[in-house]
Amino acid sequence: NAGVMQNPRHLVRRRGQEARLRCSPVKGHSHVYWYRQLPEEGLKFMVYLQKENIIDESGMPKERFSAEFPKEGPSILRIQQVVRGDSAAYFCASSPRGLIYNEQFFGPGTRLTVL
């Protein structure tokens, strides 16, 4: 999975602050997926984006969470007014095409801790 970059790797926020998580996909990949892993659980799908478009956001909480994948630059997952329950590992994956499942390459994740 070389090439998928996520930063920061660790992020600490106090309740009520904003968290911004960045994902730079593998060069040439135009599809990005965000997943969240709560402690002792598997990864849960949040959102699927192509360049400048949200394709599937069925896993995104209705409030406080948003994602974008601009024409230039990394994909951003933004969490406003964080709460302790947002503490988790957030992984992004990229792929060169959609619907080719075994071509999703995962980044190392951002571990968010909300105090």
Residue 106 has, within 13 A of its CA and on its CB side, a CA count of 14
Q: Binders of other proteins among 59-78, rule CB under 8 A?
A: 59
Q: Are strands 53-56 and 43-50 parallel, antiparallel or unpaired?
A: antiparallel
Binding flag, residue 53, other proteins (CB under 8 A) = no
Inter-residue contact 90 to 104 (CB < 8 Å): no
Binding flag, residue 12, other proteins (CB under 8 A) = no
Q: Select the residue interacting with other proteins from 27, 28, 40, 84 (CB under 8 A).
A: 40
Inter-residue contact 21 to 11 (CB < 8 Å): yes
| The one segment of 14-22, 37-45, 61-69, 75-83 that binds other proteins by CB under 8 A | 37-45
What gap in Å lies between CA 73 and CA 83, rounded to an integer?
Answer: 27
Binding flag, residue 24, other proteins (CB under 8 A) = no
Chain contacts with other proteins (rule: CB under 8 A): 1, 4, 31, 33, 35, 40-45, 48, 55-56, 58-59, 91, 93, 95, 98-102, 104-109
